Structure 1
Amino acid sequence: MDNSKRPTIANVYRGTFIHSTQQTALQILEDELLGVDTDGKIAFTGRGVELDRLSQTFGFSPNEVIQLAQHEFFMPGLVDTHIHACQYSYAGTALDMPLLQWLETYTFPVESHFKDLQFAHKVYSQVVKRTLRNGTTTACYFASLHTDASLLLGQIANNFGQRALVGKVCMDRNDSVKHYKETNQESQEETCRFIAELLKKKYPLVRPVVTPRFAVSCTEALLGQLGAIAKNNNLHIQSHISENLEEIKLVKEMFPDSESYTDVYLKHNLLTDKTVMAHGCYLSDEELVVFRETGASLAHCPNSNISMCSGMLNVRNVLNHNVKLGLGTDVAGGYSASMLDAVRRALDTSKVLTIQNPEYETLSFQEVFRLATLGGSQALSLDDQTGNFEVGKDFDALRVNVAAPGGPIDLLQGEDPKTILEKFLNLGDDRNIAEVFVAGRKVVPFTEPATE
């Protein structure tokens, strides 16, 4: 290698690395070397026996290699494709009614408090810290209607080092809580201000995402304007689709000229290869074809779907249609901010579908591991930057210690790496996540005092 083109190596790790590739749901690399350069990118990978050659090629000392312990492994950071940061304050409560009544009774009144920036700072600091501790290196956030509070969420994610898409929610139709909505003009202007001010900050890992709350809360005019704003700025788009039957019926009544819920978004240029739609429990095969053709993706939020009795997404059918799919926590409709919970609930949902239909092909833990990592990065169109340990991508990673003292996992019989991963996915929690890296920077444990 030409020394003038050789990256400067910041850290080299040796041990077990577990990730997914496009071809393989689970790839286990034992006694692997991985080098991270000073830009936080993966500079090389190789076998442990190649240490001397790699150290000469990339100019690092073998004595500086960081060795993982026997019961440790690296895995890619978890990707939460759908989470409402402003609902975190009541996560774990208020799960006693279906979606539309839940929004009116709990969500809109709480979200209206985010005009208070002190309150917003308190909640947003906690949700970013909590998700990072739980291994979420990338989060796609819904904020509230409030531009300044949404900008604050972007600042907090940047300060703590989380990769984030942040959306100021747009809604110009809300009959249930009169004071929690915008005019069409306000929504347009404030969305444009939010985008301009967030981009002006030049945060390396935080980007704006155009966010119509869902079709029910937006006029056709606003949906069309938001589609144009996203196109003109080449931005991501996020919203909700086909979450529960009552909502779908309402969309049909409100948009009689559209063939389906999907068609509402398609007509307004809101389905692109940078769109992620949450839920999709009741999408028809024809609608899934539209998703595949437009490159739009789905965020599967199984905890929320179960907790609010919304429905169950047939993930196998989505994957068979070659639609991009990631997992989401959907706090606070989902009660847990941990992506490990999303993994478990995704497996549970798949097994319930198998109970209902014994011929259903149940998801494996390996497949759901991929959905939580590489699948999520693909769903957010960030897989050129993150999602696995391919050379050239950012080093977004969790250092997992399955034998953490006082942790929830007991190892009793010399488990192999595949078994150790399965135990972590089913039993582990933040006590097992020793370190979290985003773009090569160690963001957990937090440095004290934490920068906010």
Structure 2
Amino acid sequence: MASYHHAYRGMFVHTLSLGSMQVFHDYRLAVVDQHGIIVYFDQANLPSLSAVSWTTETLIPEGSFILPTFCDLHLHAPQYLYQGNGLDLPLMQWLDTYALKAEEQLDSDHGLAKEIYKTLARRLLRNGTGAVLLFGTIKEDTNMILAEEMQNAGIRAFVGKLSMDISSRRTYVEPSAQASLDSAESFVSRCRALTQELAPHERRVEPVLTPRFVPTCSDELLHGLGELSEKENLKIQSHLAEAHDEVELVRKERGMEDIDVFEKHKLLTSRTIQAHCTFLSPPDLSRIHDHGTAIAHCPLSNVYFSAEPFRLREALDRNVKVGLGTDIAGGYSVDIMNAMRQAVAVSRMRQGKNLMSRIEQGQDGGEDERNLAIDWKESLYLATRGGSIALGLDSGVFEVGAPFDAQMIVLCDTESGEGVGALDFFSGSVPKLPLNVDMIEKWWCVGDDRNRRSVWVQGNQVVS
């Protein structure tokens, strides 16, 4: 079958590295229609030196730009049932009162599960999320519904069937470590079979081993999951050093830190994404880096459930792979834009606390003092390229060979000159057209889904 190319011409923005944002004015990007792979990216007003030609072209309006899609590295799909409720309790009590109950409900009501997962997929795409790492429930069939709905929606989804042979809820637990391992292996096989008849570029869903966290998993189960991950080359996700009560419980029951438990059972790998990590020390973050493990930073849920903020700057300084997560429903917003804003706000609070501490100790906090805050451009990297790297994807950038995972953001109407959605622009501050970095920053601060007009995953338009 012949390959046809479709081109897009206009303004493109990406963050190739931390803190470095590139803005490409009047560029042309061409995609292989059948496979959704970028085959050309260069200035549009220069003669092409490439053999690539395109049969059709989309012009991006002057008040708009194309940005890579977001990655959500931590989301509990069944907890979308009660998003925005029950955030008044400590973590372990919250799990008993809300989370486990909701997960059990979906395992017993597949009609409800299908409704919730279909809605969740649609909402994620509408908010520009092109790839998501999902916690599911303990039942295989319910997780197959989750995988099917994500595949049907066209979103990249890494689906984790929960593994837990210990639970504070008597009716919501797997009967034994061996039963849990058998179920995990069965789900991996079923999830892979879901897309095996499709071409590789059409496969959106992948299974992930998911021990909930150390308090809900016996050593036998954790050891078996480590062996299964190694044998089948599977990604792993869990929670690590999330909250004070969880950390103390692990110390009491296991006599060690939970990072040591994961390491002991070969669950800290280059295929692992650990959520939160708020109680990890700088040396622990170096251990995370040495294992090649990634961290899902969930700033909003950390505010609610952790007595410590995540040491984001220290992790980045150690070249740890870090992306952002919404942590539905421990966080109440499914929009990664809010996670970006919250990551910056929390980091600035850390910097402020550090500065005041140094002043109180009689230290001047001179220019050599490391700034713990991140800026909006760094957060944009975490939401796009950083998340892609954590998931082992080639997306998050506009380069030849990368999949076309992108979103079109509209800042102002080209005819009226008016800002779109919550955005207002005035002639005395920044010129309305062409777009510039100040306007993109304003969108980062106050923009919302009204500014998002199209979303593509692997070249396939999933929102228009």
TM-score normalised by length of structure 1: 0.92
Report how far residue 10 of structure 1 moved. Answer: 3.0
Instruction: Tell me if 1:26 matches 2:21.
Output: yes
**Cα distance in 1 for residues equivalent to 2:231 and 2:118:** 31
Query: Which is further off, 73-82 or 25-34?
Result: 25-34
Query: CA–CA distance in 1 between the matches of 2:54 and 2:306?
Result: 55
Whether the aligned pair in 1 keeps the contact of 2:7 and 2:31 (CA below 8 Å) is yes
CA contact (8 A) 2:322 2:382 kept: yes
Answer yes or no: is 1:407 the counterpart of 2:426: no
CA distance in 2, matches of 1:328, 1:376: 9
Structure 1 position 350 matched with structure 2 position 347: yes
Q: Is the counterpart of residue 80 in structure 1 residue 72 in structure 2?
A: yes
Q: Is the 8 A contact 2:18 2:378 kept in 1?
A: no
Alignment correspondent of 1:450? none
Partner SS state of residue 7, structure 2: strand
Contact 1:9-1:43 at 8 Å conserved across structures:
no
Letter in 2 for 1:297: A
Secondary structure of the residue that 2:290 maps to in structure 1? Answer: helix
Distance 1:92 1:238 in 2: 23
CA distance in structure 1 between the partners assigned to 2:243 and 2:205 by the alignment: 31
1:396 corresponds to which residue? 405
Does the aligned pair in 1 maintain the 2:236–2:272 contact within 8 Å?
Answer: yes
d(CA) in 2 for partners of 1:53, 1:285:
49
Q: Secondary structure, in 3 states, of the residue corresponding to 1:58?
A: coil
Which residue of structure 2 lines up, in the alignment, with residue 158 of structure 1?
151
Superposed displacement of residue 58, structure 1: 1.4
Please report how far the alpha carbon of residue 254 of structure 1 lies from its aligned counterpart in structure 2 after TM superposition. Answer: 1.6
Query: Once the 2 structures are TM-superposed, how far is the Cα of residue 53 of structure 1 from its aligned partner?
Result: 2.6
The answer for unaligned runs of 5 or more in structure 2 is: 356-364, 366-370, 414-418
Q: Is the contact made by 2:30 and 2:41 (CA closer than 8 Å) also made in structure 1?
A: yes
**How far 1:49 moved relative to its partner?**
1.3
8 A Cα contact 2:278 2:306, kept in partner: no
Q: Which residue of 2 aligns with 1:60?
A: 54
Q: Give the C-alpha shift of residue 201 in structure 1.
A: 1.5
**Number of the residue aligned with 2:207:** 208
Amino acid at match of 1:249: E
State how 1:350-389 maps to structure 2 within 5 Å. Answer: 350-358=347-355, 360-382=371-393, 385-389=394-398
Residue identity (%) = 35
CA gap 1:73/1:143 in 2 versus in 1, 3 angstroms: same
**Partners in 2 of 1:388 and 1:308 — Cα distance?**
33
1:60 Cα deviation (Å)? 2.3
Q: Is the 1:114–1:146 contact (alpha carbons within 8 Å) kept by the matching residues of 2?
A: no
104, 126, 139: which is aligned to 1:112?
A: 104
Structure 1 residue runs without a partner (length 5+)? 446-452
Cα deviation, 1:158-204, whole Å, max 9, x if unaligned, reads: 10100010000110011x21011102122111111100001112261
Residue of structure 1 in register with 2:36 after alignment: 40
User: SS at 1:196's partner residue?
Assistant: helix
| CA deviation map 1:112-133 (0-9, x unaligned) | 0122211110111111111110
SS of equivalent to 2:16 = coil
Q: Which residue of 1 aligns with 2:87?
A: 95
Please report how far the alpha carbon of residue 311 of structure 1 lies from its aligned counterpart in structure 2 after TM superposition.
2.6
Report the residue type matching 2:43 in the other structure: R
- Per-residue CA deviation, residues 39-96 of structure 1 (Å, 9 max, x unaligned), is 100111000112x436x721225xx321111210000000000001110011111110
Provide closer, same or farther for how the CA distance between residues 24 and 47 of structure 1 changes in structure 2, counting only shifts above 3 A. Answer: farther
Q: Distance in 2 between matches of 1:407 and 1:286?
A: 45
Aligned with 2:251: secondary structure?
helix
Inter-partner Cα distance in structure 1 for 2:163 and 2:420: 44
Query: Residue 307 of structure 1: CA displacement?
Result: 2.8
RMSD between superposed Cα atoms in Å? 1.7
- 1:331-364: per-residue Cα shift (whole Å, max 9, x none)? 0000000000100110110111122112533201
**SS of residue matched to 1:112:** helix
The Cα of 1:309 is off from its aligned counterpart by 4.7
Q: Deviations over 1:262-285 (max 9, x none)?
A: 111011010110100000011012
Q: Is the 8 A contact 2:78 2:103 kept in 1?
A: yes
